[in-house]
Amino acid sequence: MTEGTNGRTCGSCTACCKTHAVRSLDKPEYTWCAHCAIGVGCKRYDTRPSDCKEFLCAWLTGEGTEHDRPDRNKVVIGVDELPEIGDTVTVHELLPGAFERSALAQSWMRKGIGLRMPVWIRRLQARDKLLLPPTTQLSAELKRELLDRNVAVHRYHFIP
pLDDT in tens, 98-134: 999 999 999 999 999 999 999 999 999 999 999 999 9
Domain residue spans of the chain:
11-51, 56-155
Give per-residue pLDDT as tens, 26-68: 999 999 999 999 999 999 988 999 989 899 999 999 999 999 9
Long-range contacts of 132-136 (CB under 8 A, 24+ apart): 132/85, 132/156, 136/85
pLDDT of res. 76: 97
CA 92 – CA 123 distance, rounded (Å): 7
